[in-house]
Structure 1
Amino acid sequence: MKILLLDKFDNFLQWWADGLAQIVPTSWGSRHKQLKQHLLLHYNEKELLIEHFAQVADEATTRHLISTYDESDKKNVQEWLAKSPELSTLPTILRLQSDRILVKRLRYPAAARADLRNVISYDINRQTPFSREDVYFDFEEIATKDASAHIEVDLFLIPKKELEPLESTIKALELRLTAIDISGPTSVSGVNLLPIQSEKKCNQPPYRIWFGLFILWLSLITLIPVKLILDSNATIIHLEQQQKNGITTIQPLKELRDRYAKHVNKSKFLNHLRSKHIGALDLLGEITNLLSDNTWIRRFEFKNGTLRLQGESTNASEILGILDGSPRFSSPTFSSPVTRNNSNGSDRFK
């Protein structure tokens, strides 16, 4: 037997489940789907071309040409972005012509493959006339016959100085690059000259989104026993009304009442489990609000009243002062010395 109110509740749960399926991180799909809607930048020494690719089009739906020396051009594009603020949140790709990129083939022992990016990073000073800090770079491994003994890679780099006029223009437009790739006769796929730490900030879902999804999931599993209770209660009320009218019941009321009581007990048990985790959720929310976007939490452990954090930050020394200023924490300390992550310049703390 179906009751109209419960049917609507079923439809609501189905709608909610479909909605959650649509907001999972885009990194679970293919890269082509991620970049279906994006901004593409083409740059030469004097002009910047911005193209907007919408989800329903394979070609740019909007184009704006900016002179890097003309402030009126920048103002027109700023007005365009202000009218469509969602454009500033799209992936933004800078595409450079291959003739502007320095390419050099390098050869290393096969053992270097496990940490190849760091090996190449340290080798840039020796292999090129530039220092590591003064270039954007990436590499592509080349297939060879003796891959078990040696590996060959093509190193792609461009001096940061060549992109300085562009960076000031992008900053004025309040855009943030997702990737820097290469086009032209020697085009290669999968190359991104943007530093790894910047790429992570652009591509990974913000920490607060994961926290919000967890709260939604917790609310959904709490509603499931509530629906079972409503189903059982509605059936009992209907059968009791039939009994009053002299209609033979299909199932003994006692059995239905027992089922109703079991569902109530299950609901209480789930609520009890949820209350035990409220403390951890509150702490997670406090940490999210206190720490800056320059800090990444790799491990979060709360046990027996003690909170242990492990992660990376551009300035780990300020974390203890920030946590000590919160009434939820007392006497925060580092359990081990802060170390430097040379690959991205951040501090590891624990």
Structure 2
Amino acid sequence: MSTIRDSMDSLRARLLPGAGGLLGWWGRALASWLPHRWRSLLGLTQDRLLLSQQEDQGVLAWQSTEGVRELARLPLPLEAGDLDGLLGKRMAGLPRWLLLPADAVLRRPLVLPAAAADRLRDVVRFEIDRQTPFGADDVCYDASLRQRREDGQLEVDLIVIPRARFDAALAPLGGLASELAGVDVAALQGTPLGVNLLAPAERRIRQAPMRGWHLILASLALVAVVFAAWTILDNRRNAADEFETALRTRTEQARRVAAQRQQLVDLVEGMNALERTRAQRPTAVEVLDELSRRLPDGTHLEKMSIEGDRLVVIGLSQEASSLVAKLQGSPLWRSPALSGALQPDQTRRRDRFTLTAQLVGTTAPPTPGTGDQNGKRAD
């Protein structure tokens, strides 16, 4: 049951709207088709500016899809206005992050159920008292998802820094501290872990330059494309209606001709099938002739009928018990057998019999003398 529950939680996390949901993935996939400069102007990239402290200098770096590239080294403390003048219009709208060194934080590995993926930060808050010597209100924290196991459980790193040390790291930034969108931590290789130790209420969200005008122009372009597509579709629909009207008249005529042709074909095929069936079965004259050759003297037929491929013979005979043996071996039928018991007829001193056999087809006529060897004609 836990495996099923974890799978459902994972599926719900992918389908629900949000950064990790289906709508977020769809938006990122569409944005990936645009040039990088356009994505930057529209604020659709994950680019950000990273500020870190080395001795008495601040290191400014630019993180993009191509990696982290150092831009400049600046004296501390910094002011937001000075940094805007240095960056220019292109990078002024990028979010600004403080990057702490790896040894400045406490890192604890955790294993959590899959249901915790939607509210990872809230879940790890309850683990701070057990995993660290600090209380949840005395630290700044976040969680980093390392991997998802095959059983659905999550391997998570709890990142914690005491609030006093956190405030000391923000102090050299001066007025720029209030402009931060987040605080990340550098891994051993120098790349950011992807966490945000800054409280959600203190995060500064920056808009891309001229984002509003770009969105308006994109909306107008989308409306124009939709209107043009609707006009073309309406014209095509009218042309299709006219063509359908003309085609319907011709279709009715063609349908009547096809129906008559099919009736004729069915009639011809039925006649051919009937002729083939008749050719594959012996005629009544051939069956009667074969019976007259094989039945012995003293045998009188009262009725002979052919029902499909079944032959039924009713009559009187002095040798009724030996008729089956005399009828075997015929090329016109097989499996001769008496149907029911023999009924003695005291008046005629004969036995009434009913014989059945299965017709198998016509063969070449018997050679002269065959009837003399197998028996004589019936009376």
Shorter-chain TM-score: which interval? 0.3 to 0.5
Mark the structure with the bigger radius of gyration.
2
Q: TM-score, normalised by structure 2?
A: 0.38
